[in-house]
Chain A
């Protein structure tokens, strides 16, 4: 009878150890998957930030006229100033909010007054979330049609994305 009890105990121990190993394996697997997803998410956020910065620079409504030969790296200073003035108008605000999402876009002429072209910073409004902030700076030429001159400036494009809690 004692022999039968020992054999039963061995079987139980084998099962317990196997289950323990399986649980450890599952925990490692899900941690690895989570890490990989976080990396993918972070990579995508970086790409989105660069895409946003490039798309702002290439906005046709802000581009220099073809006669300046400025190309996509040239921004019309007066168009930028006009956008900075009308950016909070109902139709305009909605239009750019749909396109740019949560972001702040500022134009900083090297010898002029900084202009905020777009501002949708969610942090003061939505206090319940934590926010990732990615910033890009891109230099551009600025054309002034009144003086027919070119100067330099840079765009500060800051993008906000909510931190996904695990």
Chain B
């Protein structure tokens, strides 16, 4: 009998030990998986909320034109993406926080935002411009931060460049002003990226940018602005997206809002994709203005000068009702003596005649 008890004791102890070990491991594994999923979910939520917050900051900045604002955000990397289809429709536009995959790919599809592709840090600078062509069409958001530097390269007197920055209320974004002859002495001060802007410099040559800024894979870029006959109101902007390659891409611009948009876009793709969001509005805005004319008093007999202006303006607005507006079609409107100039002149004449204006 005593022998039987001893054998039973030897059998029980290993069984309990094994059971406790297996049960304990399973228990711990379950809690480990649970805690991990909670933490991952928490990180995803954090990323999602930050992405949404940045979208909201940019969207609401559009409601406050000409105001420069600094937004404090979570210290992270913010990636701005924009994709446009061949038919000119924007298929994706978003802000991605860090490497998070939880963001709305269409969150900014209706928000024209001109910025570097990647902005790092805990601050975002935003400002909004109303683009007029020549009537108000859209609000454009320009965005940057304290780790991006804009180098205005000028020739002769730098007063015009300074005046432009002050007039456009852009001083808060961080500009350096360098004479074109002195550009070789400009040194890297440790910013994340540099954008060299040749401000109406005759014979502007981005190859003169010091080589330390031209390393392959860097996000530095250059823009050459050439004013037209009417000063900064219109002209040409030429993008040099990669300073190592220096391949130019040119666009015509109209209005200082569009010029600012080109200045703050990291490259031609950012500029053209976000302008595609804006071109889509030209048709609707012109339809509204054309319809507005029908509320004006009927032409008298014989028609007054104002009546004649309203008649021709209606025809000008029709020229905006073009499907799939793009840079080329828009450029046709900005030509000398073209539609935009005619509408501007008509509006000025109406003002002098003390008649209700076109827009």
Give the residues in chain B near A145, CB-CB below 8 Å: 356-357
In the complex the two chains form, is B289's CB within 8 Å of A67's CB?
A: no
The reply to whether B288 and A83 form a contact with Cβ atoms under 8 Å apart is yes
A78 touches B27 (CB 8 A): no
The A interface, classified by DSSP as helix, strand, loop or mixed, is helix
Residues of A within 8 Å of B296, CB to CB, are 146
Q: Which of A88-111 contact B (CB under 8 A)?
A: 89, 91-92, 95-96, 98-99
Do the beta carbons of B284 and A7 come within 8 Å of each other? no
Considering the complex, which residues of chain A in the window 1-25 have a beta carbon less than 8 Å from any beta carbon of chain B?
A: 4, 7, 11, 15, 18, 22
Is the beta-carbon distance between B292 and A47 smaller than 8 angstroms?
no
Q: A67-B357, A146-B296 are in contact. Are A89 and B287 (CB under 8 A)?
A: yes
Is B291 in contact with A95, judged by CB distance below 8 angstroms? no
Contacts of B288 in A (CB 8 A): 61-62, 79, 82-83, 86
- Complex Cα spacing A83 to B285, Å: 9
Residues of B within 8 A of A79 (CB): 288-289, 292
The answer to whether A61 and B64 touch across the interface, beta carbons within 8 angstroms, is no
The reply to whether the CB of B328 lies closer than 8 angstroms to some CB of chain A is no
A116 at the interface (CB under 8 A from B): no
Q: Does A81 contact B (CB under 8 A)?
A: yes
B300 to chain A minimum Cβ distance, whole angstroms, is 15
Are A55 and B63 closer than 8 Å at their CB atoms? Answer: yes
For the complex, is A35 an interface residue (Cβ under 8 Å from B)?
no
In the bound complex, CA of A79 to CA of B233 (Å): 26
- Chain A residue contacts of B65, Cβ below 8 A: 58, 72
A61–B284 CB distance below 8 A: yes
A56 to B100 alpha-carbon distance, docked (Å): 31
Interface size on B, residues (CB 8 A): 47
B1-32 near A? 1/0 per residue, CB < 8 Å = 00000001000100010010001000100100
CB of A65 within 8 A of CB of B295, answer: no
Q: Is the CB of B297 within 8 A of A146?
A: yes
Does B280 lie at the interface of the complex (its beta carbon under 8 Å from any beta carbon of A)?
yes
B309 at the interface (CB under 8 A from A): no
Query: Bound state CA distance, A76 and B16, in angstroms?
Result: 83
Residues of B within 8 A of A86 (CB): 287-288, 291
Q: Is the CB of A11 within 8 A of B19?
A: yes
A155 interface residue per 8 A CB criterion: no
Q: Which of the segments B72-80, B91-99, B135-143, B166-174 contacts the partner chain? A: B135-143
Tell me the complex Cα distance, A23–B159, Å: 73
Contact of B139 among A33, A60, A81, A85 (CB under 8 A): A60
From A146, which residue of chain B is reached at the shortest CB distance?
B356
Partner of A65, one of B27, B30, B287, B359: B359
Knowing A15-B23, A18-B27, A146-B297, say if A67 contacts B351 (CB, 8 Å).
yes
> What CA separation (Å) do A132 and B356 show in the bound complex?
43
Seen from chain A, the residues whose Cβ lies within 8 Å of a Cβ on chain B are 4, 7, 11, 15, 18, 22, 29, 33, 40, 44, 47, 51, 54-55, 57-58, 60-63, 65, 67, 72, 76, 78-79, 81-83, 85-86, 89, 91-92, 95-96, 98-99, 145-146, 148
26 contacts between A and B (CB under 8 A): A7-B12, A29-B34, A51-B56, A55-B59, A55-B63, A57-B63, A58-B139, A60-B132, A60-B139, A61-B136, A61-B285, A63-B136, A67-B357, A72-B65, A78-B292, A81-B295, A82-B287, A82-B289, A83-B291, A85-B291, A86-B288, A92-B287, A98-B109, A145-B356, A146-B295, A146-B356
Q: Which residues of B contact A (CB under 8 A)?
A: 8, 12, 16, 19, 23, 27, 30, 34, 41, 45, 49, 52, 56, 59-60, 62-65, 109-110, 130-132, 136-139, 280-281, 283-285, 287-292, 294-297, 351, 356-357, 359
Sort A-B residue pairs by CB-CB distance and give the 5 closest, nearest first: A82-B291, A60-B136, A58-B63, A145-B356, A61-B285
